[in-house]
Amino acid sequence: YEKLDVRPLRQRLLVVANRLPVSAVRRGEDSWSLEISAGGLVTALLGVKEFEAKWIGWAGVNVPDEAGQKALTEALAEKRCIPVFLDEEIVHQYYNGYCNNILWPLFHYLGLPQEDRLATTRSFQSQFAAYKKANQMFADVVNQHYEEGDVVWCHDYHLMYLPKCLKEYNNNMKVGWFLHTPFPSSEIHRTLPSRSDLLRSVLAADLVGFHTYDYARHFVSACTRILGLEGTPEGVEDQGRLTRVAAFPIGIDSDRFISALELPKVQEHIKELKERFAGRKVMLGVDRLDMIKGIPQKILAFEKFLEENPVWRDKVVLLQIAVPTRTDVPEYQKLTSQVHEIVGRINGRFGTLTAVPIHHLDRSLDFPALCALYAVTDVALVTSLRDGMNLVSYEFVACQDSKKGVLILSEFAGAAQSLGAGAILVNPWNITEVADSIRQALTMSPEEREKRHRHNFVHVTTHTAQEWAETFVSELDDTVIEAQLRTKQ
């Protein structure tokens, strides 16, 4: 048997997400250049060995003409990607409106800004209509490419209406849905005017997954309280049909980070950083510049620490790297100015002619620079106000096996459930507590650091992205088989 290849043909996996894992730039009427954006999800799914994965999603560009669409479709096919073309109006209403202005803040327990509340209430119906229309467009493309036996894995809050649309096309499709953000308490979810439609649609999937057990529990409670359905230990039951609901905590490709530390480019960066910050402890924040990441709160806590611990003022530096996102949204523009204003004030207050306490960069870093930063850091500060998981905390731990730095982690990040025993957990709203934890981290004994780091390192290197994806997909397969057996009985 060892000599014979008796494995079944590789099963196809259709990964459906709002954005394709590539950035497309138009070079001419019918020519495009594509660049793979290597996010956590991409590496996780490349690692699912027994599946042949194809991606379906929006390419992030408006392509109104047929020639352009045809050329882009052909270029993407080489990367195993299939585009969904959304026009500007749909993107405005569905993506900027319903997804980013309504679902994103709601799922992270952030209210809408006062001046936007009434306007959003008024435009709610048209935005929800666009959301459903966009989800239907995704379903049309999936249906065109679906072959019997394919596994369809839908991702995130952009596509909550998709499972229903897919099952309407073909009730035998194996459909899984995974949420990358938190699922909020049912008391929050029930304020959403489209609360029931969204829950019912997600329940059309065979398997529904979340990062943590708490999010799964909130989802089941929403289904029991809002829809009056029965919650069971396996999931949610509706007239004899079970939708399985479970937690599948994501991870990272830890080997990629660990092996990168040996690369000459990374070593070069490490040497430069060590020289640049010699004699000072390095604290690090790496976030998308988003309200949920608690960046102003983090910087204010650092100010409090400097205020209360004058001996540390010339011995520590905070490097805050924030990638701008959704830069056309006024709320995000306001956040950027607010962060700049606070950083400027603190640097003016505690800086000297030769050194400032905070270095703030509004941009993305390439992979070698990011790994080097993680490796030279003494204390990482992750102070999300809410975060589905937070992969930055995992990446930091993976790069720290020689230094054994300390992770200060928000109790409101999903990662607190997995890295909580090794990290110092904080309430990011309480800046006095965060300031105290900074002092605790900077003065922690090497034995204590070693013990805490070991716990987290073992977790990060054993619960990887590949394992996450494989577990979800095999659980989806099992769920469908069990459901078929139940119907036959």
Interface residues toward ligand ADQ, by CB under 6 A: 40, 180-181, 250, 286-288, 321, 323, 364-365, 370, 387-392, 395
> In this complex, which beta carbon is closest to ligand ADQ, that of residue 355 or of residue 369?
369
Q: Residue 17 is encoded by which pair of tokens?
A: 């997400």
Q: Report the alpha-carbon distance of residue 237 to residue 235 in Å, rounded.
A: 7
Distance in Å from the first CA to the final CA of the chain:
35
SS3 at position 408: strand
CA–CA separation, 5 and 265 (whole Å): 41
DSSP secondary structure string, 57-85?
A: EE-SS---SHHHHHHHHHHHHTTTEEE--
**C-beta closer to ligand ADQ: residue 180 or 244:** 180
- Cβ atoms of 13 and 150 within 8 Å: the answer is yes
Nearer to ligand ADQ, 104 or 131 (CB): 104
Give the residue with the Cβ less far from ligand ADQ, 247 or 365. 365
Nearest alpha-carbon partner for 244 in 234, 253, 254: 234
| Chain mean position to CA 227 | 28
d(CA 166, CA 240): 20
Cβ neighbours for 5, distance < 8 A, ≥ 6 positions apart: none
Q: How far apart are CA 369 and CA 227, in angstroms?
A: 49
Angle at 436 between CA 431 and CA 438, to 5 degrees: 95
Q: Length of the chain, please?
A: 489
Nearer to ligand ADQ, 32 or 257 (CB): 257
Q: For residues 63 and 292, is the Cβ–Cβ distance under 8 A?
A: no
Q: CB nearer to ligand ADQ: give 86 or 370.
A: 370
Report the nearest approach of ligand ADQ to the CB of residue 250 (Å): 5
For the CB of residue 295, give the shortest distance to ligand ADQ in the complex, in Å.
Answer: 11
Smaller CB separation from ligand ADQ, 180 or 453: 180
Token duo for residue 54: 């194809």
* Residue written as token pair 């194996």: 174
CA distance 310 to 379: 18
Q: Shortest distance, CB of residue 185 to ligand ADQ, whole angstroms?
A: 17
Q: Count other Cβ atoms within 10 Å, centred on residue 409.
A: 29
**Reduced 3-state DSSP string for 287-298:** EEECHHHCHHHH
Residue 105 CB, nearest distance to ligand ADQ (Å)? 13
- Taking the complex as a whole, the smallest distance from the CB of residue 156 to ligand ADQ amounts, in Å, to 8
DSSP assigned state of 386 = S
SS3 at position 400: coil
Q: Are 283 and 403 in contact (CB under 8 A)?
A: no
Q: For ligand ADQ, which is the closer residue by CB, 287 or 436? A: 287
Q: Which is nearer to ligand ADQ, 163 or 388 (by Cβ)?
A: 388
Write down the least CB distance from residue 466 to ligand ADQ, Å.
14
Q: Whose Cβ is closer to ligand ADQ: residue 40's or residue 163's?
A: 40
- CA–CA dist 284, 289 (Å, integer): 14
CB of 82 to ligand ADQ, least distance (A): 22
Residue type (1 letter), 434? V
| Closest distance of CB 395 from ligand ADQ, Å | 5
| Residue labelled with tokens 């922690």 | 444
Give min distance, CB of 280 to ligand ADQ, in A. Answer: 21
Q: How far is the CB of 254 from ligand ADQ (least distance, A)?
A: 12
Q: How far is the CB of 109 from ligand ADQ (least distance, A)?
A: 13
Give the torsion through C-alpha atoms of 48, 394, 260, 282, to 10 deg: 170
CB-nearer residue toward ligand ADQ: 323 or 355:
323
Cβ 259 to ligand ADQ shortest distance, Å: 16
Nearer residue to ligand ADQ within complex by CB, 180 or 298: 180
